[in-house]
Structure 1
Amino acid sequence: MRSTHFLSIAGTDPSGGAGQSADLKTASALGAYASSVLTAVLAQNTCGVREVMALPQALIRAQLEAVFEDIAITCVKIGMVSDLATANLIREFIERYRPAHVVLDPVMVAKSGDMLVDRDGFHAVRDVLIPIADVITPNLPEAAVLLDTDIPASHEAMEAMLPKLGTLGCDIVVLKGGYLKGDVSNDLVLTPEGTHWLEAPRIQTRSLHGSGCTLASAIAALLPRHDTPIEAIREAKTYMSRALEAAERLDIGKGQGPAHHFHAWW
């Protein structure tokens, strides 16, 4: 089988559980060769975000050129993008090199509740990046921000929201239902063929740091191996559930710890 060449475009996490760290661990655990381009340096840990510094445009461009000119990238996962200039730069390279699969995690709110982008960053995500993505993976607060509406409080409200998300310019939407209460953590997927509920029991764990990054990266890494996107998304959700089930084995941090990306390996 031909190797999968995965590219993470994201910010850092020095505590190792989210952002670039989660992306590279996830792709590696799923058998993809992982490359990365940094957009921002964050001071954060399992307890929250302390500072965010976007990297200079020239440096981001140099990274993108270095990767795309040398490696035949199969799939891309885009994470934190905090400004329009960076979004336009990423779009330029995606449109020039046309990787087969692009997954966008519309990162705007950290698990700790910290806002990671301003209005400029919001428009960068909604107006520039969503139209070039094949799959977007908003959680419920992010979906509400994208549509300027209330956060869904039920599965019925998720179903009502999904078609509106589909009008933003991306064919496949994975609306994550983890913020709802109850014994299940079901996600709702919109594809050109219809809608699909992905059901899973809720994992009782404090280790949710970087779970959005992990799921989006898993989808990106698995898309090249499946005939249909929904098959890749289903496998990615299974991987995510197992990573959360095993997370307490790591015992990392004083806040929301990370998922166990290498649960199947060690």
Structure 2
Amino acid sequence: MTIANIMVAVDLGEPARDRVRLAAQLADDFQARLIGIAAEMPDYGGCPVGPTPGGAYCIPSIQEAVLDDLNRAQAVFQAAAGGQRRVEWRSNLDFPSAFLASQAAAADLVILGRGGDGNPCLCVDPGNILMGLGRPALIVPPEVGRLAAKRVAVGWTNTCEARRAVRDALPFLKRASEAVVVTVDTGHGTDDTRDVIAFLQAHDVCATSVRAEAQGIAAAEALVEAAVQHGADLIVTGAYGHGRLREWVSGGVTRALLAGSPVCCLMSH
């Protein structure tokens, strides 16, 4: 199992440059094709209605402005991707999340920012797209331009989303020197890690288990603290799972990680 195609969402915010650099680095590491993608839907709301003199010029000018944004996003992608040989650019006049979801079949991994850091008409909101993406998503915080993934933290609850995330993350986990499976006890106990540890070890992953306690802080914060303590720069976790622990139900941990994790997060739903 490997990563042959990496897709990265590009917008005009400053974090996009670092995000593309990280995507290009991973494309080098995995010898993968790198696909940049952007979309923006023209806003025709201000155009005159009916056969008015201004109407003939309004729609083309709005479309031209959107095409200019997409050309600028392509320039960001090409500059930040550097000397990548296997690159492809995809863009369209469309809603960003809808266009990305329609193109995700071409990718093994989709790299996203947190959203809201650039032109809102170009940005993809990861919280809205994760459930319908059908591919693992790597969420990159601002000012992170490289991912070594020598140590990886797995946020574990025994749910289908977490199991899928672990399998989706195998290309990273098999390259890591250590994987730490983290269970967070918020007062209701933790799920057994023996099977997931055995699964990872069967795939030649050096895996150990640690237990963290929330102690009055959110489960997501405890997970991040455990990852940082073990020197991990990647967290693997299911997205919007409905596990036994209430803190992991209805996406509470997912939303918190998307909003504030300083560590890259690989999520699957």
Normalised TM-score (structure 2): 0.33
| Largest Rg, 1 or 2 | 2
